[in-house]
């Protein structure tokens, strides 16, 4: 078998383990889903902590699977990243978020930015800034109403990342660091990258009430962000106690089930319109 490449291949495909097979099937299904328009964006509102107003929203992808129903991103984003499908998929996300936001603005709904999650694979593309510029141009959305979220766990060359982010910010787009505090290079990023805001990871916010260490960390991140002239938003806010804590420490914004879960476009459209008519 060793000498015959063909047989070798057949042997292996016959013996393919179930995990690998599942992965291949998933990657095939993802490609098909992109062609069949099976993805949908949900939007989670972000609230200003002093006024209580909705001041932004994060676009979160869902897969409307014909058989499995609504599939959460944790069940397909890793496979999409591994296979590279995340590149066209991520581009679709930016396009759809810009199109939707512009449509709401044209309706007269108060203008707020939409945040989109960027994967490291997208971020490593040489022409990312041109793609984003094209999308902004064709959607007609002003760049300041688009924010791109990157995570610090993205193991990348800070030199190159810095150049890439500079090009994006020159378009007028804002950059935020997602899941702040969970990576290993936080300070390196803060010092070297042109970012507008930090998103404090949910894992620190969750136990503010019970864990004095977490409370101290959150308070310190807020103070540091402000000293660096960065905006700061807390993720995963679920309780009134957390809101009080964040407000008393002058955190700018919050996002979480306490305010609202992620909503489909019809639901958030209605929420934003109701706000307008109040
Ligand atoms: P993330 O960017 O950290 O997004 C926040 C996640 O926390 C969302 O999960 C949201 O539904 C959830 N969440 C919001 N508020 C609360 C809360 O109060 N409590 C708790 N326990 N959870 C809350 P979701 O939508 O399942 O997304 C999971 C992750 O998938 C995202 O984490 C992001 O890393 C990734 N993701 C989502 N959409 C995209 C996308 O379009 N592109 C890429 N590359 N990744 C995406
Ligand atoms: Ca995010
Ligand atoms: Ca996050
Ligand atoms: Ca996360």
Query: 136-146 pLDDT, tens per residue?
Result: 999 999 999 99
Mean pLDDT of 13-26: 81
**44 CA to centre of ligand 2 in angstroms:** 10
**179 CA to centre of ligand 4 in angstroms:** 6
| Ramachandran sector of residue 144 (left: φ over 0; alpha: ψ -120 to 50; beta: rest) | alpha
For CA atoms 90, 95, 98, 104, the dihedral sign is negative
Residue 157 is predicted with a pLDDT of 74
**1 CA to centre of ligand 1 in angstroms:** 47
Residue 7 is predicted with a pLDDT of 45
Residue 3 in this model has a pLDDT that exceeds 90: no
Is the ipTM here above 0.85? yes
Q: Where are the beta strands (DSSP E) in 68-143?
A: 69-71, 114-117
The CA distance from 203 to 180, in Å, is 10
**Nearest-5° Cα angle at 234, 246 to 184:** 120
Q: Is the CB of 143 under 6 A from ligand 1?
A: no
End-to-end Cα spacing for the chain? 75
Residue 276 in this model has a pLDDT that exceeds 90: no
Mean pLDDT of 51-66: 96
Strands 146-151 and 114-117: parallel
Q: How many residues does the chain have?
A: 278
Residue 262 is predicted with a pLDDT of 98
Residue 11 in this model has a pLDDT that exceeds 70: no
Q: Is the CB of 167 under 6 A from ligand 1?
A: no
Mean pLDDT of 26-33: 93
Residue 16 is predicted with a pLDDT of 76
**151 CA to centre of ligand 2 in angstroms:** 8
Residue 15 in this model has a pLDDT that exceeds 90: no
**pTM greater than the 0.90 cutoff:** yes
Residue 49 is predicted with a pLDDT of 98
Q: Which residue has the tokens 């806010």?
A: 237
> What does DSSP assign to residue 249?
T
- Kindly tell me the burial class for residue 70, based on how many C-beta atoms sit within 10 Å of its own C-beta (0-12, 13-18, 19 or more): exposed
Q: Is the CB of 72 under 6 A from ligand 1?
A: yes
> What does DSSP assign to residue 179?
E
Residue 108 is predicted with a pLDDT of 94
**Mean pLDDT of all residues in the chain?**
90
**Nearest-5° Cα angle at 175, 121 to 143:** 100
Q: Is the CB of 256 under 6 A from ligand 1?
A: yes
Q: Report yes or no: 138 and 109 within 8 Å, Cβ to Cβ.
A: no
Q: Is the CB of 9 under 6 A from ligand 1?
A: no
The CA distance from 199 to 149, in Å, is 9
Residue 85 in this model has a pLDDT that exceeds 60: yes
pLDDT one-digit tens code per residue, 159-206: 778 888 999 999 999 999 999 988 766 677 777 788 999 999 999 999
Residue 156 is predicted with a pLDDT of 67
**41 CA to centre of ligand 4 in angstroms:** 17
Q: Which atom of ligand 1 is nearest to the CA of 119?
A: 44
Mean pLDDT of 12-36: 85
Q: What is the dihedral of CA 181, 94, 175, 272, to 10 degrees?
A: -90
Which residues are in the CB-under-5-Å shell of ion ligand 3? 178-179, 235
Residue 12 in this model has a pLDDT that exceeds 60: no
The CA distance from 48 to 41, in Å, is 22
Q: How sure is the predictor about 10, in pLDDT bands with cuts at 50, 70 and 90?
A: very low
Residue 193 is predicted with a pLDDT of 83
Strand partners, 70: 64
The CA distance from 115 to 72, in Å, is 18
Residue 217 is predicted with a pLDDT of 95
């Amino acid at each position: 078998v060793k000498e015959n490449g063909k047989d070798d291949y057949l042997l292996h495909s016959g013996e393919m383990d179930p995990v690998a097979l599942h992965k291949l099937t998933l990657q095939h299904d993802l490609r098909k889903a992109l062609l069949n328009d099976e993805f949908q964006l949900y939007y989670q509102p972000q609230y200003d902590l002093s006024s209580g107003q909705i001041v932004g929203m994060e676009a979160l992808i869902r897969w409307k699977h014909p058989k499995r129903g609504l599939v959460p991103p944790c069940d397909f984003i890793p496979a999409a990243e591994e296979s590279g499908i995340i590149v066209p998929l991520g581009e679709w996300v930016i396009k759809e978020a810009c199109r939707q936001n512009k449509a709401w603005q044209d309706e007269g709904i108060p203008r707020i930015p939409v945040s989109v999650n960027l994967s490291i694979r997208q971020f490593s593309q040489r022409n990312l800034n041109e793609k984003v510029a094209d999308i902004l141009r064709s959607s007609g959305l002003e760049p300041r109403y688009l924010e791109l979220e990157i995570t610090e766990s993205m193991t990348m060359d800070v030199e190159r990342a810095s150049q890439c982010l500079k090009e994006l910010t020159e378009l007028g787009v804002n950059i935020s660091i997602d899941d702040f505090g969970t990576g290993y290079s936080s300070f390196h990023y803060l010092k070297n990258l042109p970012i507008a805001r930090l998103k404090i990871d949910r894992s620190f916010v969750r136990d503010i009430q019970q864990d004095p260490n977490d409370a101290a960390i959150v308070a310190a991140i807020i103070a540091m962000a402000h000293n660096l002239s960065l905006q700061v938003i807390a993720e995963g806010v679920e309780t009134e106690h957390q809101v009080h804590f964040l407000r008393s420490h002058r955190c700018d914004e919050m996002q979480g089930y306490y305010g609202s879960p992620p909503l489909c476009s019809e639901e958030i459209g209605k929420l934003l319109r109701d706000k307008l008519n109040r």
